[in-house]
């Protein structure tokens, strides 16, 4: 499991219930940490950490300054003194409740957990986990008695599914810490978890830079390029494949090198440079002329950057390289367009 070392431990956890503020449900606050037997501790550990995968990281943010981010302040106080988990988890529950105003937000259970010896970017440190369960799972419980067996329906947490979560690492505190986020609800009202409660933004690291340039490159090739010059889908597919291969085969990105190897001619490189600058400005992202390439970010983007030419509903051509081996033409006799594919061996 990502972020976990062989000695990672769940030290303490608190559970509270968050009602719907719109319905004026209020909150139920626990007065002590959870008392768990060995089996429950193991299952809670699995629930809290198994869904996190290495990838994009975030940090706390507030336009007026980090000191105005209440969640960040509570987490910082907890890192400073883990024994205050009851007090700080209650404070966090209150903050979450205040941001649960949208009528579409469900009530749910809120868990605050404290871990030791977690890992991020090769650095081992403590971590605080924040979890909200809004969709409990129904399951059947078999009860065997002396002369009878019966089944009852219970509700509880699905160990393999987390609705909303944040795993915050005790590193880079001055920059808003580093955290991994899970938000499995995509509706508009669900944004309260990331945007309002956490007030999180993506970190300007190698993962973010890699994803940003891959997204910008895809947008340039598929949208900007066809709008400004005549280019076939085959040429687009070849260019997309060259761009993806550059990110897969190199450890670092350099704009000049990328332009030379992928974009090729000077006018295309100049147009791409201007497009990237505009893309960064529109998406409020930090520009970078060079950066280390994140392998996990490339894998994440690879599926959406597949070079596929879809011809009516009859054929799909998957382009994996072979520059110059695919050409587009027009057949006057049939009045239809066609592609010529050149190859040495059929496999």
Distance of CA 71 to the CA centre of its chain: 20
State phi, psi for 324 to the nearest 5 degrees.
Answer: 85, 0
Could you please report the per-residue DSSP string of 112-176?
Answer: EEEEEEEEETTEEEEEEEEEEE-SPEEEEEEEE-SS-EEEEEEEE--TT--SEEEEEESS-GGGT
Counting the structural domains of the chain, the total is 2
Read off φ and ψ for residue 171, nearest 5 degrees.
-145, 150
Q: How far is CA 248 from the centre of its chain?
A: 20
Task: With respect to residue 78, please indicate whether it lies within any of the assigned structural domains.
Answer: yes
CB 169 within 8 A of CB 127: yes
Distance CA 254, CA 258 (A): 6
Provide the angle, in degrees to the nearest 10, between the axes of the packed helices 206-219 and 233-249.
170
For residues 188 and 66, membership in a common domain is answered with yes
H helix runs in 12-68, sequence order: 38-49
User: Does residue 347 belong to any structural domain of this protein?
Assistant: no
Question: Do 188 and 289 fall within a single domain?
Answer: no
Residues 137 and 21 in one domain: yes
Let me know whether 155 and 70 are in one domain.
yes
Tokens of 5: 């070392």
Q: pLDDT by residue for the chain (347 residues), tens digit each?
A: 579 999 999 999 999 999 988 888 889 999 999 999 999 999 999 999 999 988 889 999 998 999 999 999 999 999 999 999 999 999 999 999 999 888 888 889 999 999 999 999 888 999 999 999 988 888 788 888 777 888 888 787 888 889 999 999 999 999 999 999 998 875 555 588 999 999 999 888 888 889 889 999 999 988 888 888 887 777 787 888 888 889 999 999 999 999 999 988 888 888 888 998 888 888 777 777 889 998 888 887 776 666 666 777 767 767 665 556 777 777 788 887 777 777 777 76
CA-based radius of gyration for the chain: 26
Q: Is residue 212 one of the residues assigned to a domain? A: yes
Range of the domain at 319: 206-341
98: part of which helix (H) or strand (E)?
A: helix 85-98
- Same domain flag for 59 and 93: yes
Q: Helix, strand or coil for residue 333? A: coil
Q: Is residue 152 part of a domain?
A: yes
First-last CA distance in the chain? 38
Asked if 44 and 187 sit in the same domain, the reply is: yes
Query: Is 14 a member of any domain?
Result: yes
Q: In angstroms, how far is CA 189 from the centroid of its own chain?
A: 18
Tokens representing 347?
Answer: 């496999």
Q: Which helix (H) or strand (E) holds 279?
A: helix 266-282
Q: Is residue 265 part of a domain?
A: yes
Same domain, residue pair 177 and 147: yes
Helix axes 295-302, 233-249, angle to 10 degrees: 160
The residue behind tokens 């219970």 is: 154
Q: Distance between CA atoms of 183 and 196, rounded to whole angstroms?
A: 13
């Amino acid at each position: 499991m990502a972020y976990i070392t062989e000695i990672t431990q769940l030290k303490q956890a608190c559970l509270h219930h968050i009602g719907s503020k719109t319905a004026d449900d209020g909150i139920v606050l626990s007065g002590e940490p959870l008392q768990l037997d060995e089996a429950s501790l193991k299952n809670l550990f699995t629930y809290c950490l198994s869904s996190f995968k290495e990838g994009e990281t975030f940090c706390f943010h507030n336009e007026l300054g980090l000191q105005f981010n209440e969640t960040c302040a509570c987490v910082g106080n907890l890192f400073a003194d883990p024994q205050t988990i009851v007090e700080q988890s209650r404070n966090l529950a209150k903050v979450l409740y205040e941001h649960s105003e949208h009528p579409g937000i469900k009530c749910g259970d809120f868990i605050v957990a404290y871990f030791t010896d977690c890992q991020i970017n090769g650095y081992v440190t403590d971590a605080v986990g924040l979890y909200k369960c809004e969709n409990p799972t129904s399951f059947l419980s078999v009860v065997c008695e002396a002369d009878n067996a019966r089944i009852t329906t219970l509700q509880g947490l699905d160990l393999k599914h987390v609705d909303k979560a944040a795993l915050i690492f005790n590193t880079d505190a001055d920059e808003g810490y580093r955290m991994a986020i899970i938000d499995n609800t995509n509706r508009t009202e669900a944004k309260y978890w990331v945007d309002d409660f956490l007030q999180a933004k993506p970190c300007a690291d190698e993962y973010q830079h890699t994803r940003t340039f891959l997204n910008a490159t895809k947008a340039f090739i598929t949208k900007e390029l066809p709008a400004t010059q005549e280019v076939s889908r085959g040429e687009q597919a070849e260019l997309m494949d060259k761009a993806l291969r550059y990110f897969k085969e190199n450890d670092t990105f350099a704009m000049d090198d990328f332009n030379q190897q992928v974009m090729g001619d000077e006018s295309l490189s100049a147009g791409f440079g201007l497009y990237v600058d505009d893309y960064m400005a529109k998406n409020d992202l930090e520009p970078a002329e060079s950066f280390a390439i994140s392998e996990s970010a490339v894998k994440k983007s690879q599926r959406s950057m597949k070079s596929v030419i879809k011809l009516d509903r009859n054929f799909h051509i998957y382009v994996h390289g072979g520059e110059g081996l695919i050409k587009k033409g027009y057949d006057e006799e049939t009045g239809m367009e066609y592609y010529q594919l050149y190859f040495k061996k059929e496999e």
